[in-house]
């Protein structure tokens, strides 16, 4: 994919994105990805802003996904919802073919969900943790 082409594609993607109501768009393809996030809308009047509904997804949350198939195991200390994590904290590992493959927080933030149980089989791309970036 030549460089110019990428710029062109992203440009048209941005145009299309701004035309929607989306606040975040992530496209994954062939191992790479593009993510667009909308800045807080300048036109939104504070009077109209409502408190966030309890079941609305929190913003700035990254899913930490498994990049292989194996058995999920927590690392120590046991990560728990609400924990603040460092940029390279090992939260867990996925054991595959006898090898422990660490799962790291990839950047710091607050752990908002733990999505798997200890000993659970996980597949490629399965969400293991969700971290709110701060």
Partner 1 sequence: MFKKVLIANRGEIALRINRACRELGVKTVAIFSEPDRESLHVRHANEAFCVGPGPVARSYLSIPNIISTALITNCDAVHPGYGFLAENARFAQICADHGLTFIGPTPEVIGTMGDKATAKRVMREAKVETTPGTDILESVDKARRAAKDLGYPVLLKATAGGGGKGMRVVTGPDELERAFAGAQNEAESSFKDGRLYMEKLIVSPRHIEVQVLGDNFGNVVILGDRDCSVQKPSHQKLIEEAPAAHLSEKIRNSLYAMALRAAQAVHYTNAGTLEFLVSGDHAYFMEMNTRIQVEHPVTEMVYNIDLVKEQIRIAAGEALGYTQSDLRPRGHAIECRINAEDARNNFAPAAGTLTNVVFPGGPGIRVDTHIYSGGTVPPFYDSMLAKIVAFGETREAAIARMERALRETVIEGVNTTIQQCLEVLATDAFTSGHYAIDFLPGLLRQADAA
Structure tokens at 7: 């710029």
Residue 72 DSSP symbol: E
What residues contact 119, with CB distance under 8 A and at least 6 apart? 71, 72, 73
Q: Give me the 47-86 binding string for partner 1, x by CB under 8 A, dash otherwise.
A: ---------------------xxxx---------------
- Binding segment for partner 1 among 17-25, 44-52, 110-118, 119-127 (CB under 8 A)? 119-127
129 vs 127: CA distance, rounded Å: 6
CB of 34 to partner 1, least distance (A): 15
Question: What residues make contact with partner 1 under the rule CB under 8 A?
Answer: 28, 30-31, 68-71, 96-97, 121, 123-126
């Amino acid at each position: 994919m030549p460089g110019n082409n990428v710029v062109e594609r992203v440009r048209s993607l941005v145009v299309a994105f701004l035309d929607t109501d989306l606040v975040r768009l992530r496209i994954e393809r062939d191992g790479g990805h593009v993510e667009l996030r909308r800045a807080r809308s300048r036109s939104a009047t504070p009077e109209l802003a409502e408190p966030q509904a309890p079941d609305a997804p929190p913003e700035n949350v990254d899913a930490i996904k498994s990049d292989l198939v194996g058995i999920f195991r927590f690392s120590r200390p046991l990560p728990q919802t609400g924990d603040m994590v460092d940029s390279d904290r090992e939260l867990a590992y996925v054991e595959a073919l006898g090898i422990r493959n660490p799962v790291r927080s990839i950047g710091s933030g607050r752990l908002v969900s733990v999505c798997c149980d200890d000993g659970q089989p996980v597949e490629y791309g399965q969400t293991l943790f969700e971290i709110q970036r701060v």
